[in-house]
Structure 1
């Protein structure tokens, strides 16, 4: 039964992805359909149209195996050896700076949420 539940939850994520793709294409949005799908999933969860436990197991599994989703992209870099030779240092600098910015903003958001929870618990 657990495998079937997990399978259905993953199918739901795939459905959300395809709906996001359709919305993005239909409205000619400059945003990828996967991002629209994420926004749609967030909206459905926030408005309590769907419950977190309906998708939580599959979400945890997919996040746990997230590294596997990057392998095809990294292998694809082999085709761009010339680009990496020419712009490798610049790309590395941009990746480093953007990683630091994301980490700092994530820390600030986590701190802000933690302070809000402390205030609401008082």
Structure 2
């Protein structure tokens, strides 16, 4: 089941790449494919059950996909010097920004959800 779901997700990558080539956009095909999948999920054309197991597995194994890239980077000595420090600094700062934004967003959405639930309970009485 997992393999068929991964193949199904791969179809969206191919659709995104086709759209990228056909429309000559500067957005990567993988992002376009994710947007197509997102909208199809939102409009209930594609059910979440059709991709959930495969997507969960891909996310769980995500670090393995970065190992070849990391090994390839170590072959370039100039990257490991001053440029490497700048790259690591950018990675750390962007990670902190993403973590802060995610935390603040989830806190805001949680508060919003509680307010909506509280409002619906008080109107039902």
Deviation digits for residues 61-92 of structure 1 (CA, Å, limit 9, x no counterpart): 11111111111111111332223324111111
Residue 59 of structure 2: aligned partner: 63
Taking structure 1 as the reference length, what is the TM-score of the superposition? 0.88
1:48 match: secondary structure: coil
Residue 74 of structure 2: aligned partner: 78
Which residue, out of 28, 32, 36, partners 2:32?
36
Contact 2:12 2:33 in 1 (8 A): yes
Which residue, out of 103, 106, 114, partners 2:102?
106
Residue 26 of structure 1: aligned partner: 22
Structure 1 runs of 4+ aligned residues shifted over 6 Å read none
The count of aligned residue pairs is 118
Q: Does 1:116 align with 2:112?
A: yes
1:95 match: secondary structure: helix
Residue 122 of structure 2: aligned partner: none
2:18 match: secondary structure: helix
Mapped to 2, the partners of 1:28 and 1:56 lie a distance apart of 31
Q: Which range is displaced more, 20-29 or 76-85?
A: 76-85
Gaps of 5+ in 1: none
Gaps of 5+ in 2: 119-125
Shift of 1:10: 0.7
Mapped to 1, the partners of 2:58 and 2:79 lie a distance apart of 31
2:6 match: secondary structure: helix
Mapped to 1, the partners of 2:49 and 2:115 lie a distance apart of 27
Mapped to 1, the partners of 2:20 and 2:49 lie a distance apart of 27
